[in-house]
Structure 1
Amino acid sequence: MGRPPEVFVRPVSMAEGRRLQRIGRTAKDPVKLRRAIVVLMSAQDQPVPDIDHLLDCSQEYVRGVIHDSNHIGFRALDPKWSGGRPRTISDAARRRICLIARCCPRDLELPFSTWSLSKLAEHLVATGVVASISRESVRRILREGGIGWQATKTWKTSSDPDFMPKMAAVLDLYDNPPPEGRVVCVDEFGPLNLQPRPGRTWRPEGAPARQRATFHRYGGVRHMLAALDLATGKMVYRIRQRKRWREFLAFLKVLRERWPGQKLYLILDNFSPHKHPHVRRWAADNDVELVFLPTYASWLNWIECEFTALRYFALNGTDHQSHTEQGTAIADYMRWRNARALPKRHFAPDSVIRTWTDYKVNVA
């Protein structure tokens, strides 16, 4: 009496066989891995009982995988999670929960200004949104709805009545630098104190780097006056004890000597030394145009991001004992940076400021 008829997977091609072997080597899902082994063993003419014995599963399971593979191919390898208790909270209720979570509790006549999961769950039951709900269910519903626990941020808008024309003038210089001139962003960085500065570094887990604490800082402060040349991406700087109009004017003279014969367009904020009468008079007499940013819009100055990098890479995590030591560290970073500098182009190309309808303003 011969062997009873068995179930085998349909003949597989060489490409399908290689794909099954790859799944067997790389699959991280145990269900997908087991189903791939069933199909691969059946393709090698191994009967269902042998597969059942090797994988320690039922023969009904093996036959089911083989039948599914013959009908729908590799889709039969994907897990089919199903079952569980049906949802007790409707989609409409879930949308309402997400909406309520985004509201300020005081707008709903509650005596607090922010939600906790417990307070939100209690309010949902009290208002009849749901019959009952746990804090964990609230958390999962909010996560599925794309609602996260976010910190509140502040945003300072410019109060300058000429904000749009001034911004348009600055962006036009960034986008279309005059061929006969040079666009340079100028600003002050500091104060440069002698203090241990927090930072980040690679360390073993549980063994962070430690620095001394300070209660008195007797070393005084220094200030950096810096300029970013957009044509080359290089920076020029001077470190001084003060940042009055005298120091600022002396720094402008350094810039004037650096690029003789070219008109300088200096992007500046509204710091009072920048607008001193002596500074304005010297600029008018030396082919230097002072282009002032709108009030409370220092983020338009391209040099600000360079200051962030300077603080992160040259100062954070340090504890310099003298201004000479700190100045040397800054000089080393500046030489390294300028050696790799590239021209500055495409300021904030995807920013919302590029889509404002009032951006194209005729600047008088």
Structure 2
Amino acid sequence: MEGQRLQQIVRRGKGSAIRVRRAMIIMVSASGTPVAAIARLVAADPDTVREVIHAFNEKGLAALDPRWAGGRPRLISDDDIEFVVATATTRLVRLGMPFTRWSVRKLAGYLASASGRTVRVGRERLRQILHERGITFQRTRTWKESKDPDKEAKLDRIEQVTTDYLNRCFAFDQFGPLSIRPCHGSAWAPTGKPHRLPATYYRTHGIRYFHGCYSLADDQLWGITRRGKGGDHSLAALKSIRAARPDGEPI
């Protein structure tokens, strides 16, 4: 019965190529052909031929359909990936690095030799992780460095609060009128005496101020537009934030 089934598989050549080749190995082996000759016939390693024969002796026709493993086991865990992302987005001055930006090579080297935690990951896999998390290589922007001696402590406190108590973090700001500027043009004029345009226009309908509040956890922005700005308006905005978390806990 098994012999007829093997002949059908080999003659019809249907199914996967692996299934047909294994059936051929078993049929040729049943005729007394040496393992080395079978290996040359099916273009396989002799050890592979022996494994197929032994599997058929133990399982029968079930050996034609091998149960492949799920691939090589993962080398880094989900926690390692989170550590990689956190390291890539951390300010380098906090890590004591003598440069201003990571390269993939530098980041991989740092992860492999970090004192607190070691993560060995290849450069290509590192690129994939950063791409999957939406982290791209971007140009830095200019800023004014604070001279506050407690700057690092305050920044650490902000990061700690936004990490541990995100649902209680809010942002508030007020936005005044835009500075309306005309588009620059060109014209013939004496050297050093270009035509000049006023830097702003008359606001014949008045101006508006926007008092906005933003909830970091809910990703929700709300606010109100007013004709002027005063302490009572700012207080009303802060009260709306308190109303969003009426339990009395710190915000």
TM-score range, shorter chain: 0.3 to 0.5
TM-score (norm 1): 0.28
Greater length-normalized contact order (CA 8 Å, ≥ 6 residues apart): 1
- Normalised by the length of structure 2, the TM-score is 0.36
